[in-house]
A and B are shown apart, each in its own frame.
Chain A
Amino acid sequence: MRLCGKTLITMQTLNRTQEPEVKPFPDIELPEAEHITLANGLPLHILNSGTQDVLKVEFLFSAGALKQPARLVAAMTVEAIGEGTDKRTSKEISEQLDFYGSYMKTDSSRDTPALVLYTLSKHLDKTLPVIKDLLLNATYPENELKTYRENSKQKLISGEKKVSVMASKLIYEILYGKEHPFGYRVIPRDFDNVTRQQLLDFHHAHYRALDCDVIISGRVTPEVLDTFKKEFENIPAKVSSFNNNTPTPEPSADKKQVHEVPNVVQSAIKIARPLFSKTHPDYIPLQVLNTVFGGYFGSRLMTNIREDKGYTYGIGSGLVPLGTTGIWSIGSEVGVEVTKATLKEIYHEMKVLREEPVSQEELDTVRNYMLGVFLKDIDGPFALAEKYISLLKYGLDYSYYQRWIKTVKTITPAEIQALANKYLREEDFYELVVGKLG
C-alpha cells in the first residue's frame, strides 16, 4: 500500500496479497540420549522428556536377515516371540500386557529387528517382566506356530494382491538379486520350511543372549531405571556392537521389467537404483536433492505428475538405508492408461535436474521445509528416540545431525546439480511396472 500525504488513514487496511514477515529459523536444540550401562553390560539409551506418564522401550537387535541360517528365520523369530514361554501361554502374555493398557510391537525389518513395549510408566513393573520373559524364555510352541504359519501365509498372499505391495517387494529382488538376504522375496512355503528348532537356536543366539541395545523414551523416572536394573542386571548379556556388513548386491541384468497383472485399473511404478547407507558423505546432500525431486508435496514429481497432469493420487521418492547399503527409489500408483506417460515424465524430471540448477527460491523453500520437518520430528520423547535409533543403527553419533543441519542450510544450486549429474542418471536406474504398461 502506498502512503500518500493527503490521505487520512482511519483504518489499517489488511493487505492479503502480502505474506507476513518470515521470521528467521530458530536454532535447533536437539536433546541427546543419556547412556547407562547395567552391571551386566546391557546398554540403556535414555530420552527423558515429555509431559505424559508414558514409556516406549525398544530392544533393538542387529539379528536380521544377514545373520539368519535360512530364509525367514530372523523375521519369524521376532514375529512369533510372543507365542509362548515356559512360564506363560500366548494368551497369558497378551492378557497381562493388555490388562495394563500396554502393547507390544515387533519390528521384523530386514536389518534391525526390534521388540518394542509401549506402557504407562506406572505399570512398567507389571509389563517389563513379560517382555523379559519373551526375551529369555520364548518356546515357540508347535501348536501356536501352526496357526501363526497359516495366518501369515494368508496375509502374505492377500498383501501381494496389491500392486504397490508387490512392486515394493520385487524392486528389492531386482536391485539385490534373488538370493541376497535383502533381495529374496518371501514365499508362502518359507513359513512351512522354518523349523521350531531353527527359531529356538536363533532366539538363543541373539535374544536370549541379550545381544541388543535398549532405548527408553518418555518419562524416565529413577523408579523406571530401578525396574530395569532389578529385571535385567543379573542376567548375562552378550552385547556386541551393531554389525550389518552387507554382501555386495547383484542387481538383475534386466533393467526394465513389467510384472503383468490382469484386470487392474492402476499400475504400480517403481524406479530405483542401488545406493549407499547413511555413513556415505553424499548421503546428506542427496537428501536435499531428493526432497527437491520427490520428497515433499511441492516436489518436482508431485508438481508435474499430480498437480499439473492429474495422473496419480501421489508420487514420491526416498532414500532407504539398508545395512551398509541402500537404495534410492521413486514410487507411484497411476492409471493404466497413463503409465507410460508417467514413466516419461519421471525421466524428464531427472533430466531437468541434471541440466538446470534449481533456483535460489526453490532451494530456500526446500531448506526451510526440511528444517521445519526436522523440528516436528523432534517433538516429543518418542520422536527423539527415533532420531537416536536412526544414528545407532548405522554407527553414527549426534554430529551427523549437526552436519545435516549445516548441509541443508548451506548447500548451493551448483552442488545439487553436480549431485544430479552423478546420481540421477537414467541409466543407473531399474524400472519396474506391476500392472499394465497401458
Chain B
Amino acid sequence: MIQFEKHTLSNGLKVIVHEDRSTPIAAMNILYDVGARDEDPDKTGFAHLFEHLMFGGSVNIPNYDEPLQKVGGENNAFTSNDITNYYLTLPAQNLETGFWLESDRMLSLAFSEKSLEVQRNVVIEEFRQRYLNQPYGDVWLKLKPLAYKVHPYLWNTIGKEISHIENATMDDVKAFFKKHYLPNNAILSVAGNVKTDEVVKLAEKWFGPIAKGEKKERKLPVEPRQTEERKEETTADVPYDAIYKAWHMCERKNPDYYAFDVISELFSRGKSSRLYIELVKNKKLFSEINSYISGDDDPGLLLIAGKVSEGVDMKAAEAGIMEEVEKLRAAVVEENELQKIKNNMEASLVFSEMGVEGKALNLAIFELMGNAEDVNREGEKYQAVQKEKVKELAEKTLVHTNCSTLYYHAKKS
C-alpha cells in the first residue's frame, strides 16, 4: 500500500508525493508521455536518442550530471515504446537541486551541436552492443516487424536502423522537444523523506512558471487483426537454434490484461511452471524457455522464447510448445495451480515496493494509465482472475492465425 497525495499545477503538470520517513533519501521521477510509438516511421529511434540529449545541458545549466553528483545524487533514464522516464535519487535535504535541474531541462535544452554529435555515436554504439554484437541480439529487430504491420510497435526503441540515428538533425531535435517536452505532457512523482507541502511548494516554484503547450491528440494507426499465421526464418552465427512465438493480446488498461499475465506465468514462472517441467525437464526439448507479455499501452504481445536443446529438431521443439498451448486451451487450470500464480503475484508486488525509487516510478506509471490510486489495486485485480477467463482467453488468442513465429537457426559450421 503506497499512500500519496496528488496535485496539478496550473500549467498541467501533475505532481504526486509519497512520504516515507524510513529512509534518508528521496527519489524524483519525471515521466514524459512520449515514446518510440510517437516517432515518424522515417526517423525511428528518436525518442531514445532524445533521452540521451536531455543530459547534454539545459538552457541555464551547462551540465546536468555534475551538480547532481555534487549533492550526492544519482540519476538515469529509460525510453520504451510508450514513455520516456527520467529518475534521480539524492539525500532528501538536497531535493531542491533535483527540482532546479529537472525544471530547467523541461524549460529548454542547450541544443549543443557537440552533444548531438557525440550522443549519436554513443547511441550507435549502444545499438551495436545490444542488438548486433551479441548472439540473438537482433531477434526483436526481426520479430516485431513480423508481428506488427502498421502500428509503430513494429520498430524497436533503438530504431529500425542505424542510419535513422546518423541522420538526426538539430532541427529534428528542436521540433521533438517543442512537441513533447511540455509540463502538461508530464507527471512528476517524489517519494522519500519529504514533506508533501514542501514538495508542492518546490514544484510551484520551479515548474510553475513553465508555460503549458499544445498537447496533440495521439492518432496512431491501429494494427488490423491478424488473420493468417506468420512465419519467418533467419540464420546467424549463434551456437544453438531458438524459437520465438508471439501472439497479439490486449492493451495494458484492458481488464483482460491480468488473465493474460497469468497465462504467461503459468507457462514459465519458476521451476514448477508448465514449460519448464514439460519441455526442459521431461522432454528435454529446450535448454531454457520463457514466456512473458509486453505490457504495452496499445495492444501488445504474449511471447514464448526458447533455446532449443542441441540435436533437437526445430519442428519437434515447436510441437512441444504447441502441445502445452493446447493443454491450456482444452482444460481449465486447477484451482491450486492458479492460486500458486496469485500468491506469486502478491509477493512480487510486495517485493517491488521496497525502495523509494520503485515506488516513485509506479506512482507515475499508474497516473499515466489513468489514476495513481490503481497502484494499490493491482493485488486485488490479480486475485480476481477466474480460471474460466484464463481458458477463454487462451482459446481465443493462442491460435495459429494470431501467431508470428521466428525460427532462429544456428549457422552450421
Query: Which positions in A face B, CB cutoff 8 Å?
Result: 14, 16-17, 19-23, 25-26, 28-29, 49-54, 82, 90-91, 93-95, 97-103, 118-120, 144, 147, 150-151, 154-155, 157-158, 161-163, 263-266, 296-298, 306-313, 333-335, 364-366, 368-369, 371-373, 375-376, 379-380, 382
- A51 in contact with B22 (CB, 8 Å): yes
Among B89, B239, B350, the residue within 8 A (CB) of A376 is: B89
Q: CB < 8 Å: which of A16, A147, A371, A375 contacts B281?
A: A147
Instruction: Assess A99 versus B353: contact at CB under 8 Å? Given A154-B240, A162-B135, A365-B70.
Output: no
User: Taking CB as reference atom, which chain B residue is nearest A382?
Assistant: B354
Residue of B at shortest CB range from A160? B239
Interface contact A91-B128, CB-CB below 8 Å = no
A102 contacts B347, CB within 8 Å?
Answer: yes
Which residues of chain A are within 8 angstroms of B280 by Cβ–Cβ distance? 147, 151
B354 & A52 in contact (Cβ 8 Å cutoff): yes
The reply to whether the CB of B122 lies closer than 8 angstroms to some CB of chain A is: yes
* Contact indicator A310/B117 (Cβ below 8 Å): yes
A163 touches B239 (CB 8 A): no
Find B25's partner among A17, A29, A119, A375 (CB 8 Å cutoff).
A375
- With A20-B96, A26-B91, A98-B340 given, is the CB distance from A54 to B69 under 8 Å? no
Which residues on B are within 8 Å of A, measured CB to CB? Answer: 20, 22-25, 59-61, 65-67, 69-74, 89-91, 93-94, 96-97, 99-100, 103-104, 107, 117-123, 125-126, 128-129, 132-135, 205-206, 209, 237-240, 269-273, 277, 280-281, 284, 287-288, 307, 309-310, 336, 339-340, 343-348, 350-351, 353-356
B122 near A98: Cβ-Cβ < 8 Å: no
Give me 13 other A-B pairs in contact (C-beta within 8 A), A307-B118, A379-B23 excluded.
Answer: A14-B205, A19-B97, A93-B271, A98-B270, A100-B343, A158-B135, A158-B238, A158-B240, A266-B125, A310-B122, A333-B129, A369-B70, A369-B72
Cα distance A335–B107 in the bound complex, in angstroms: 35
A313-B240 in contact (CB<8A):
no
10 pairs of A and B residues whose beta carbons are closest in the complex: A372-B72, A310-B121, A101-B347, A94-B271, A94-B272, A20-B96, A16-B60, A101-B343, A313-B126, A95-B272
Min CB–CB distance B211 → chain A (angstroms):
14
CB-defined contacts of B89 to chain A, threshold 8 Å: 372, 376
Contacts of A307 in B (CB 8 A): 118, 122
Q: How far is the CA of A105 from the CA of B94 in the complex (A)?
A: 37
Residue on A nearest B115 in the bound complex, by CB? A307
Q: Contact check, A266 vs B128: say whether CB atoms are below 8 A apart.
A: yes
| A376 touching B25, Cβ below 8 Å | yes
In the complex, the answer to whether B118 meets A368 with C-beta atoms within 8 Å is no
The SS class assigned to the A binding surface is mixed
CA distance A313 to B131 in the complex (A): 13
Nearest CB to that of A370 among chain B residues? B72
- Shortest CB-to-CB span from B195 to chain A, Å, is 15
Q: Hey, which chain B residues are within 8 Å of A52, CB to CB? A: 350-351, 353-354
Residues of B within 8 A of A118 (CB): 351
Distance in angstroms between the alpha carbons of A157 and B20 in the assembled complex: 46
Given contacts A266-B125, A372-B74, contact A103 B270 (CB under 8 A): yes
Is there an interface contact between A16 and B104, defined as CB atoms closer than 8 Å? Answer: yes
Residues of A within 8 A of B65 (CB): 297-298
Contact A298 B69 (CB under 8 A): yes
- Which of B94, B340, B348 sits near A99, CB closer than 8 Å? B340
CA distance A298 to B63 in the complex (A): 10
- Check if A49 sits within 8 Å of B22, measured CB to CB: yes
Contacts of A53 in B (CB 8 A): 350
Q: How far is the CB of B243 from chain A (nearest CB, A)?
A: 14
Knowing A91-B281, A155-B287, A266-B133, say if A14 contacts B339 (CB, 8 Å).
Answer: no
Contact B61 A16 (CB under 8 A): yes
Contact of B125 among A144, A335, A373 (CB under 8 A): A335
Task: Find out whether the CB atom of A16 lies under 8 angstroms from the CB atom of B107.
Answer: yes
Q: Is the CB of B67 within 8 A of A154?
A: no
In the bound complex, residues from chain A placing their C-beta under 8 Å from that of B126 are: 313
User: Chain A contacts of B67 at CB under 8 A?
Assistant: 19
